[in-house]
Amino acid sequence: MGKKRILVIDDEENIRILYKENLEDEGYEVILASCAEEANTKMKESYPDLVTLDIKMPEMDGIEFLRKLRESDKNIPVVMCSAYGVYKQDFRVWASDAYVVKSSDMRELKSTIKEILKRKKDLK
């Protein structure tokens, strides 16, 4: 079985690079998108196994993107990543699989992704 592919969607370039390096170290293949539109293209091109999704983004925000995504794909795991913890209470993010408050300590994100992918594998 090949590497799991993760799509990182975030409007901040440095965050994307940080996530990419960290997740590649974990053994994932990482593709990047800086906005919802680019993310749509990447989704169609490369069929990721999991998406990390920033909430506050210009034009279409993460919550809206999630709603659109769920219309076409109900199963792809999505991890919401935000500097804010408040969106946890927004019922619209409940359509995601996890919610991680951004931190320089990437351990929570990594363990969350690992957990979700494992769960998905177990279900199969």
Partner 1 sequence: MKTVRSKTYSISKRLKIPQNIHENYWLGILNEVSRITSLTLELDKRLKLIVEVIVQQTGADACSVLLMDEEKKNLILKATKGLNPMSIDKIRLKVGEGITGWTAQEKKVVALSDASKDPHFIYFPGSEEERFKSVLSVPILENNKCMGVIYTQTFNERDYTENDIKLLTTIANHVSWMIKNSMLYDKAVRRLSELSILYEISVAMQTTVNLDKILRMILGCVTAGDIFGFNRAALFLVNENTKSIQGMLGLGPDSGEEAGEIWSRIPKIKDLSQWLISQGDILAKEESQFDKFIKGIDIPITAGSGVLALTILEGKPFNIKDARNDSRVNRNLIDKLGVNSFATVPIITRNQVVGIIAVDNLYTNKPITDEDLQTLVRFSTYVGWAIENSRLFSKLRDANKEILLFQQQLIQSERLAALGELAAELAHEIKNPLVTIGGFARRLLEKGNLMSEERKYSDIIINEVERLEKLLKDILNYSRDIRPKFSENDINTLIEEVLSFHGRVFNESGIEIKKELSGEIHPIHIDLPQIRQVITNLFYNAVESMIGKGGIISVKTEPLSGEEGVTISISDTGGGIPSEILNNIFNPFFTTKKDGTGLGLSLSRKIVESHGGKIEINNRIGEGATFIINLPWKNRQEQKPD
List residues near partner 1 by CB under 8 A.
Answer: 12, 14-15, 18, 21-22, 25, 56, 83-86, 101-106
Closest by CA position to 87, among listed 76, 98, 73: 98
Residue 86, burial from CB neighbour count under 10 angstroms (0-12, 13-18, 19+): exposed
CB of 31 to partner 1, least distance (A): 19
- Residue written as tokens 């996530």? 19
Q: Which is nearer to partner 1, 6 or 43 (CB)?
A: 6
Q: Which is nearer to partner 1, 11 or 40 (CB)?
A: 11
Residue 16 contacts residue 53 (beta carbons within 8 Å): no
Q: Find the helix packing angle between 36-46 and 62-72, rounded to 10°.
A: 30
CB of 82 to partner 1, least distance (A): 9
Looking at residue 81, its amino acid is C
Q: Which is nearer to partner 1, 24 or 73 (CB)?
A: 24
CB of 73 to partner 1, least distance (A): 28
Q: Which is nearer to partner 1, 46 or 103 (CB)?
A: 103
